[in-house]
Amino acid sequence: MSAHWLAPSILSADFARLGEEVDAVVAGGADLIHFDVMDNHYVPNLTIGPPVCAALHKRGVKVPIDVHLMVRPVDALVPEFARAGAGFITFHPEASEHVDRTIGLIREHGCRPGLALNPATPLDWLDYTLEKLDLVLVMSVNPGFGGQQFIPGALRKLEQVRRRIEASGRAVRLEVDGGVKVENIQTCARAGADTFVAGSAIFGSADYAATLRAMRAELAGA
């Protein structure tokens, strides 16, 4: 399996100081910046959009921006986030009218496509898409808010997706998102995750770099 990647979610950052917050987690060893986009329609919360992504990109953030779209519809935002400097663009299949078309659109715009699976979303969505994806995101909470409790059923799903990725022979990242902390990150890695989103666990801690180091140490023992 490829190296573990840590993806702090800026949903729990201090938005009034967003640039500095991002710089701090990148300096502390973040591999990606996880960027949660919510539309108060697909999910009951409203966050940030392409101008904020563009501002971070312009600031010169040195790691890829991992855009997680919790919006419906999806397609119109793809070119906008591509222009705003997104690296990965991940969306929820239930939110797109034509999932294969959306994956193609993300690729055509030079970004890396990901598919996000909610706690109750079956793996069947991967049957005809995995060969075109660069990332599968397993939600370990229901999307919409930071700071929720990890849903243990996500572990079995991670194991199942990991088996599918291995069978595909492709280098697809397996990301887990929601309720990930120092205490459970090793369990997630053992279940097959290689990319770890953590919002409140990092930005809610007193020392971001120390928390990232503690996560890294747990992963080294996985």
Residue 12 binds: one of ligand DX5, Zn ion, none (C-beta under 5 to 8 A by kind): ligand DX5
One of 31, 36, 134, 194 is an active-site residue; which one? Answer: 36
Among 118, 121, 129, 148, binds ligand DX5 (CB under 6 A): 148
Contact call for residues 199 and 12 (beta carbons, < 8 A): yes
Q: Establish if 12 lies at the interface with ligand DX5 (CB under 6 A).
A: yes
Binding of ligand DX5 by 205 (CB under 6 A): no
Single out the segment in contact with ligand DX5 by CB under 6 A; choices: 126-134, 151-159, 192-200, 207-215: 192-200
**How many contiguous H segments (helices) and E segments (strands) does the chain have?**
8, 8
Nearest to 56 by CA among 79, 86, 28: 86
Whose Cβ is closer to ligand DX5: residue 93's or residue 101's?
Answer: 93
Q: Which residue is nearest to ligand DX5 (CB)?
A: 199
Please answer whether residues 19 and 59 qualify as being in contact, where contact means their C-beta atoms are separated by less than 8 angstroms: yes
Q: For ligand DX5, which stretch binds (CB under 6 A), given 57-65, 93-101, 127-135, 198-206? A: 198-206
Q: Are 86 and 67 in contact (CB under 8 A)?
A: yes
Return the residue of 4, 5, 6, 11 that touches ligand DX5, per CB under 6 A: 11
For the question of residue 177 being annotated catalytic, the response is yes
ω into 44 cis (within 30 of 0): no
Determine contact, residues 51/84, Cβ cutoff 8 Å: yes
